[in-house]
Amino acid sequence: MNGRFRLLALGLVAGWGLLLESTLAFDTGHHWELTAQVMQEMGFNEPSRQTACVSNWMVDYYSSSPTASKRMREELSKLHCDNLYTAESARRHLARLTANARLALTSQVNDRELLLLLGATLHAVQDMYSHSNWPELVSTPEVLSNRTCFSAGEWIPGAWLSGSYDPRPYLLSPLPPHHPEHGSYDQGVNKDAHDRPLWPQAYFLAYCATREFVEALRSWIPAARWERLKHYQPSVVERLALNSEVKSAYGISLWINAAGQHGHWKGGMSGHNLMFLSSALSFVKLTSPNALWYRVAKGYRPLTRGLYTEDSLPPPKAPIVPGLDIQRTVMMLRIARVQEAPGRLGKCRWGSPDYYLTGGVHYGRPPLKKQELLTPYLHPKCEPESPFLGVPAVVFRDRVIQGARSFDNPWQAMVILDSAELARTGGELTFFLGVGEEDPGPDGTMDISPDRSRKGLIFQYQLKGSSITLPGTGQTFPAGEGKTITVRGDHRKSLEISFEIFPMKTR
């Protein structure tokens, strides 16, 4: 590292240490995956999804980065829906945000800029649920609700609030006494990561609201433009820059290690100074069109106009974003424990092991396209590759657990499914899971399968009767909440993994 970039690296660490406390939102992995899932369900190709997801991530990044000006950080902080102390302020905020978004998304912008605006808007839409007590008002710990702020219309109950967080000078009202804080992974109103109380409730609401908003976008623009947007093809230069942005977004979020933050992809435990600096410096040096749209063109400004000001709009008579009665089947996959299989691993060459999970779900029983499950790497595109033919219904990539040879409750995933498609395939799902071991060089693929022909775990879940089958061994296990299934690999680099899978009630 030359002298210039060594100084920049030190500045980045110091700067993030001072500013990071204003970044908290749904952790970036959750924002990314629910945005990508909704867009995939609606037919958007990979470049369009990644462009929107990168923009969604940049709202967090430039809200806290020392490379952004103070004014830019303050403007983008308005897209986190914090410091809304009353139901009336929430109604006005949502009315202004959606009006701004419709005007911006139907203006004379090119397709790439429209996708950037969409991603930034969806960040704010999703934070309405991870930053507020709305999940407590419409859900229970046992039952998910599809009653979003859009589908509720003007009904936002008087008890609604979002947590206080880093109060800004633009706020019109002083902080009320005893108002709850946004908090962190350990306390507060937030449902930002999958180990927070009511995270499943907030995530499902954010999924439904994201679907409602993208459906509204379809009604706002001409059909020909909608189709062109779904099949967006960046230029060669833009595609290379987008690939670099995806890599940096994942790396910065995963490895951040400052101001008490030890990772911000999906919960903590993954911070790593050197890896963070490598990712951060790569992004700072990047002069991509998308980054310049934020840093130079300030393309997000149409979205923030009038937020947290006296001229915030009153709730409109007709909904700008119509609510939908979204019906989905929801499964929870919880990894209860991961540990090294006794006697299977020798001394780790690079020190303590650092494990992470990737995986996904298909409807029915798709044919395999290759024998080995997958080789997980930390720096690919963020949507894991499936070993099966066809497009998976859901994919997920979870955090790295640093320096632990065993860990309880390291990972979980919410699997949101189309109920009609699930019924068409007989209520059967095929899951694929892989555990990687992060190394300075190529990552290792850990063996978690009792089937000697592969290292990754494949199993079929049958909704009727609630059971899972391991196709490689023919073993069948009862499934359900509290019914933990334990499997272990059969090669030298093996892990024992315990998990449970169960449906969640929705209304």
In tens, the pLDDT along 345-381 reads: 554 444 577 899 999 999 999 999 865 544 555 544 5
Q: How far apart are CA 78 and CA 371, in angstroms?
A: 48
Q: Which domains does the chain have, with CATH numbers?
A: 3-304 (no CATH), 328-506 (2.60.40.150)
The more confidently predicted of residues 264 and 111 is 111
Helical (H) or strand (E) element with 76: helix 70-77
The pLDDT assigned to 178 comes to 87
270 — phi, psi (to 5°)? -120, 5
Q: How far apart are CA 470 and CA 487, in angstroms?
A: 10
Confidence of residue 480 (pLDDT cuts 50, 70, 90): very high
Q: Which is it for strands 495-506 and 328-340: parallel, antiparallel or unpaired?
A: antiparallel
Q: How confident is the model at residue 6 (pLDDT cuts 50, 70, 90)?
A: very low
Distance CA 394, CA 363 (A): 10
What whole-number distance in Å separates Cα of residue 417 and Cα of residue 330? 6
179: pLDDT strictly greater than 50: yes
Quick: pLDDT tens for 224-242.
999 999 999 999 999 999 9
How far out from the chain centre does Cα 322 lie?
Answer: 24
Angstrom distance (rounded) from CA 18 to CA 263: 16
**Pairwise CA distance, residues 59 & 213, whole Å:** 18
Residues whose CB is less than 8 angstroms from the CB of residue 275 and which lie 6 or more positions away in sequence, other chains included: 251, 254, 255
For the stretch 26-78, pLDDT in tens is 789 999 999 999 999 999 999 999 999 999 999 999 998 888 999 999 999 99
Higher pLDDT, 455 or 133: 133
Identify the pLDDT of residue 3: 44
Tell me how far apart the alpha carbons of residues 135 and 152 are, in angstroms, rounded to a whole number. 13
Whether pTM exceeds 0.85? yes
Q: Dihedral of CA 201/203/204/205: which sign?
A: positive
Q: Is 486 exposed, middle or buried (0-12, 13-18, 19+ CB in 10 A)?
A: exposed
Q: What's residue 66's pLDDT?
A: 87
Pairing mode of beta strands 476-478, 467-469? antiparallel
Residue 329 — φ and ψ, nearest 5°? -95, 130
| Paired tokens of 503 | 């449906």
* 185: DSSP letter: S
Beta strands in 344-443 (DSSP E): 354-363, 394-402, 406-418, 428-437
CB 419 within 8 A of CB 331: no
CA atoms of 413 and 395, how far apart (whole Å): 9
- For the chain, give the mean pLDDT: 87
313 pLDDT band (50/70/90 cuts)? low
Integer Cα distance of 17 and 261 in angstroms: 9
Sign of CA dihedral 252, 256, 261, 266: positive
- Strands 328-340 and 257-258 come out as unpaired
pLDDT at site 27 = 87
For the record, the structure tokens of 151 come out as 């589908």
